[in-house]
Amino acid sequence: MGPLTGLRVVELASIGPGPLCAMLLADLGAEVIRIDRTEPSGLGVPTKVRFEITGRNRKSVALDIKQKAGLDAALRLIDRADVLIEGWRPGVAERLGMGPDVCHARNPGLVFGRMTGFGQTGPLSQAAGHDLNYIALTGALHAIGGGKTGTDKPIPPLNLVGDYGGGALYLAFGILAAIFERDRGGKGSGKGQVVDAAMVDGASSLMSIFFGMVASGAWNPKERAANILDGGTPFYDTYATSDGQWVSIGSLEPKFFAEMVERIGLDPSYVKRQHDKTCWPQLRADMVRLIGAKTRDAWSALLEGTDVCFAPVLRLDEVANHPHAQARQAYIDLGGVLQPAPAPRFSRTQAAMPTAPVAAGTHTDAVLAEAGFSADEIAALRAAGVAAGAAVGS
């Protein structure tokens, strides 16, 4: 029984950060009912259901909410929810007849979580975009990549910074903050509200420390691979090993740097010259030469568990076999698909093992019946093409 047991969430099917946010809540015990389309949306990258890891721990009901009967059915499900998650462009929910005003009139305590790239307001609010575009506006994309500005292009950091870090995590944080304000141990407002989670806002928030460093003169915003955390320093970077693999070195603090110098066999004089930029080219060259003389596993045997601040650079197909991951049971197998275990962990209310992702409409009849729909009503919705999915007993 996770810490969010008893929280009921309705998720309007979307892609990217919305599903991850819902997964995070569901992993911690929330009941999440996803309202899927009766036909594929054509968005995202099509994949088999069992590989849609961020869709785990869900019940799915398939409804055509563009039809009045489907909209009415969706609203009845929302009436019973604590939280609604939607990831449409601003105004779409309102045009469909299920915007915040409608939902709050029916369910005043509802937390209406809205996930967008550019936010509910502003000149770009209606523009299409993806993670890469959102982080481009925040300074995050410009800061990531090898080489100086103008020589090497910025490198997309997967979709971790916009979609997931700046999007899903901030939406989940906002939802839980709104629930706390509403309830507050029985002394809250009792009212729901809208959470406007924009990826540009979240990604900007993630960059807070760097704005401070720019203001203080400790970060050069015009160049990349020229600063302390972007690979500009030889003691915070990655290095190739003799077997074509890579290791990471993060010896920022003087005592950790001193240990690194000793353990990899550098000239001891570097210890007192760590921040002397004039010696960095030679220091980097020496580190390249020494680290490149041994395999990744040899360096792991020598440096893992020390205060060098070291880790091997593992591929996705290697991470679950690392002894630390195995000791913490950091990865689980659901239906033959390896995936990360729920996080974070709790001392008393540890999350249960997740359930595998399900196809759209898998729980249509069961969810509608639980919400008070009669068998005749469900049959009528199916006959009209408003509800879809596997019928009970099929």
Q: Which DSSP string corresponds to 150-184?
A: TTB-----TTIIIIIIIIIHHHHHHHHHHHHHHHG
pLDDT in tens, 20-43: 999 999 999 999 999 999 987 666
Residues 89, 190, single domain; the answer is yes
Residues 257, 112, single domain; the answer is no
Asked, for residue 368, whether it belongs to a domain, the answer is: yes
Q: Which two tokens stand for residue 124?
A: 């770009």
- Mean of the per-residue pLDDT values of the chain: 95
Identify the band that residue 394 occupies on the pLDDT scale cut at 50, 70 and 90.
Answer: very low
Residue 340's beta-bridge partner residues?
A: 331
Catalytic (active-site) positions: 130, 163
In angstroms, the first-to-last Cα distance of the chain is 30
CATH of residue 271? 3.30.1540.10
pLDDT in tens, 163-204: 999 999 999 999 999 999 999 988 999 999 999 999 999 999
Residues 145, 19, single domain; the answer is yes
Residues 97, 42, single domain; the answer is yes
Asked, for residue 116, whether it belongs to a domain, the answer is: yes
Residue 370 CA to residue 138 CA, distance in Å, equals 44
How many domains, the chain? Answer: 2
Provide, rounded to the nearest whole percent, the portion of the chain with pLDDT above 70. Answer: 97
Sheet with 387-388, edge to edge strand ranges: 194-198, 111-116, 83-86, 8-12, 31-36, 59-63, 387-388
Packing angle, helices 375-383 and 68-79, rounded to 10? 140
Position 347 scores a pLDDT of 96
Asked which of 254, 280, 312 is the last residue of a domain, the reply is: 312
pLDDT in tens, 281-319: 999 999 999 999 999 999 999 999 999 999 999 999 999
Question: CB count, 10 Å around CB of 302?
Answer: 14
Average pLDDT over residues 62-85: 98
Contact residues for 119 (Cβ-Cβ < 8 A; gap 6+): 90, 125, 196, 198, 200, 201
Identify the band that residue 47 occupies on the pLDDT scale cut at 50, 70 and 90.
Answer: confident
Asked, for residue 66, whether it belongs to a domain, the answer is: yes
**Tokens 């779409």 found at:** 92
Residue/partner pairs of 338-346 with CB below 8 Å, 24 or more apart: 339/53, 339/56, 340/53, 342/2, 342/27, 342/28, 343/27, 346/2, 346/3
Average pLDDT over residues 81-99: 97
Position 123 scores a pLDDT of 97
Asked, for residue 231, whether it belongs to a domain, the answer is: no
Q: Is the pTM of this model over 0.85?
A: yes
Question: Has residue 357 got a pLDDT over 90?
Answer: yes
Residues 267, 370, single domain; the answer is no
Average pLDDT over residues 5-26: 97
* DSSP for 216-231, written as a single string: HTSS-TT-SS-STTTT
Q: Please state whether the peptide bond connecting residue 254 to the residue before it is cis, i.e. omega within 30 degrees of 0.
A: no
Residue 240's beta-bridge partner residues?
A: 246
Question: Has residue 392 got a pLDDT over 50?
Answer: no
Asked, for residue 2, whether it belongs to a domain, the answer is: no
Asked, for residue 220, whether it belongs to a domain, the answer is: no
Residues 346, 261, single domain; the answer is no
The answer to whether the CB of 117 falls within 8 A of the CB of 129 is: yes
Residues 105, 202, single domain; the answer is yes
Residues 280, 382, single domain; the answer is no
Please report the beta strands in the chain, taking only residues with DSSP state E, as ranges in sequence order: 8-12, 31-36, 59-63, 83-86, 111-116, 194-198, 236-240, 246-250, 310-312, 331-334, 337-340, 387-388
Residues 296, 374, single domain; the answer is no
Position 5 scores a pLDDT of 97
Residue 263 CA to residue 78 CA, distance in Å, equals 60
Give me the domain span that covers residue 277. 236-240+246-312
The answer to whether the CB of 239 falls within 8 A of the CB of 310 is: no
Asked, for residue 86, whether it belongs to a domain, the answer is: yes
Q: In the chain, count of helices (H) and strands (E)?
A: 15, 12
The answer to whether the CB of 308 falls within 8 A of the CB of 249 is: yes
Residue 224 CA to residue 208 CA, distance in Å, equals 17
Q: What are phi and psi of 71, to 5 degrees?
A: -65, -45
Position 46 scores a pLDDT of 77
Residues 32, 97, single domain; the answer is yes
Question: Has residue 255 got a pLDDT over 80?
Answer: yes
Residues 297, 370, single domain; the answer is no
Position 390 scores a pLDDT of 67
Q: Which two tokens stand for residue 339?
A: 């995936």
Asked, for residue 226, whether it belongs to a domain, the answer is: no
Asked which of 277, 312, 347 is the last residue of a domain, the reply is: 312
Position 152 scores a pLDDT of 82
3-class secondary-structure state, position 12? strand
CA distances from 281 to 12, 220, 234, 269 (A): 53, 18, 8, 15
DSSP state of 16: T
Residues 53, 131, single domain; the answer is yes
Identify the band that residue 49 occupies on the pLDDT scale cut at 50, 70 and 90.
Answer: very high
Question: Has residue 148 got a pLDDT over 80?
Answer: no
CATH of residue 100? 3.40.50.10540
Residue among 48, 58, 56 at smallest CA distance from 334? 56
